[in-house]
Amino acid sequence: MSKIRRRGFLKSASIAAAAAGVGAINSCSTEKKNESASIHTQKKYEWRMVTSWPPKFPILGEYAELIAKWIDEMSSGRLKIQVYGSGELVPAFEVFDAVSLGAAEMGHAAAYYWAGKAPAAQFFATVPFGMTARQMNAWLYFGGGLELWRELYSDFNLVPFPCGNTGGQMGGWYNREMNSVNDLDGLKIRMPGLGGKVITKAGATTVLSPGGELYTNLERGVIDGLEWIGPYHDYLMGFHKIAKYYYYPGWHEPCANLELTINKDAYSKLPTDLKAIVKTAAQASNVMILSAFDVKNFEYFEKLKNEEEVAFRKFPNKLLLILKTYADEVFEEISETSTISRKVFESYDKFQKKMNSWHKISERE
């Protein structure tokens, strides 16, 4: 019996030792896998961001730099982004192509600059007589707008993110009064996107100029009028020194949504946590830019009104009603260019009507 017990003990000990050995092997294998995963997630990336704004341009260029800074900090230096202002790496209106082709991994601009490449892109920047910044965010994040935007940009190898909004803009600077639609006839006006198409129907000629050229073009008569953003930037640009009248409301841009575009191939190579960091930085910028514009535009509206004695003028209601009719024609024309254009416009239009119905009760009365 003693011998039998001894054999049983030895057998059990052998099994236990074998099991321990397998456990050690499995543990070692798991540690190696974890170590390998850790090494993989610590890979560092160096990207370039090209923008449509002059280098260090107030708010717009500044927040492009801040996005890069936030991503660097949140990733502990694993994703570093070098920011280039317009003209430093590519011209202002070549950002879309540069990111699409991979010459830069990231772009900071506004979607209505790419109307010639994708007409429906304009709806993701602003729409004449359209939604406010708050309503635009609601559509993009919770109304299916962002999904449609990504569907549209997918064909161009791009992944878009909303990353800021100027809020409602001013109607522009002119050296003649706008008393009727006839006063637009024959004028050369800097106005991008759908608004530019609307004034073309009214007899004006649309000129698309980068921000850095606007003062010189207006001063030299290359253009007869322009819209840029609002009191803050317009004051810094000095438009009040060379134009007589400052018009409102900004019927053509009740908001102006900005975009952060990423090359889809480059984005797909990022680990999950870095993708989340990019998304978070874009969302933070979306909130901060709108807030910055609200504060600065109020401050500089007061300066223009009280210190510079600028002649503020309101567009006559009859003129606005005619422009609204032209705008409806433009929307229908854009919708007919492709299936995706129709989908985008119908989604936007349906959502705006819902929001207006609610905000008429909650915000305006």
Give the tens place of pLDDT for each residue, 292-309. Answer: 999 999 999 999 999 999
pLDDT at position 25: 42
pLDDT digits (tens, 9 = 90+) for 344-362: 999 999 999 999 998 888 8
Mark whether 162 and 190 lie in a shared domain.
Answer: no
Mark whether 77 and 161 lie in a shared domain.
Answer: yes
pTM of the model: 0.86
The CA distance from 242 to 239, in Å, is: 6
Mark whether 112 and 191 lie in a shared domain.
Answer: no
Domain ends where: 244, 275, 294?
A: 294
For residue 329, give its domain range. Answer: 174-252+296-362
Main-chain dihedrals φ then ψ at residue 226, nearest 5 degrees: -155, 155
- pLDDT at residue 193 above 80? yes
Name the nearest CA neighbour of 108 among 189, 185, 186, 52. Answer: 52
Count of residues in the chain: 365
The CA distance from 82 to 84, in Å, is: 7
CB atoms near residue 212 (< 10 Å): 16
Mark whether 282 and 156 lie in a shared domain.
Answer: yes
- pLDDT at residue 211 above 80? no
Mark whether 145 and 287 lie in a shared domain.
Answer: yes
Mark whether 52 and 122 lie in a shared domain.
Answer: yes
Higher pLDDT, 280 or 37: 280
DSSP 129: T
Mark whether 181 and 69 lie in a shared domain.
Answer: no
In a domain, 18, yes or no: no
In a domain, 220, yes or no: yes
3-class DSSP state of 156: coil
What is the domain-level CATH number for residue 240?
3.40.190.10
In a domain, 6, yes or no: no
Domain ends where: 239, 264, 294?
A: 294
CA distances in angstroms from 49 to 61, 69, 235, 262, listed in the order given: 11, 12, 27, 9
Question: pLDDT-derived band of residue 364, with 50, 70 and 90 as boundaries?
Answer: low
Mark whether 230 and 306 lie in a shared domain.
Answer: yes
pLDDT digits (tens, 9 = 90+) for 38-87: 444 589 999 999 999 999 999 999 999 999 999 999 999 999 999 999 99
pLDDT digits (tens, 9 = 90+) for 94-106: 999 999 999 999 9
In a domain, 10, yes or no: no
Mark whether 259 and 248 lie in a shared domain.
Answer: no
In a domain, 95, yes or no: yes
In a domain, 30, yes or no: no
Mark whether 159 and 290 lie in a shared domain.
Answer: yes
pLDDT at position 212: 78
Proportion of the chain above pLDDT 70, given as a percent: 88
Q: What is the mean pLDDT of the chain?
A: 90
Question: pLDDT-derived band of residue 209, with 50, 70 and 90 as boundaries?
Answer: confident
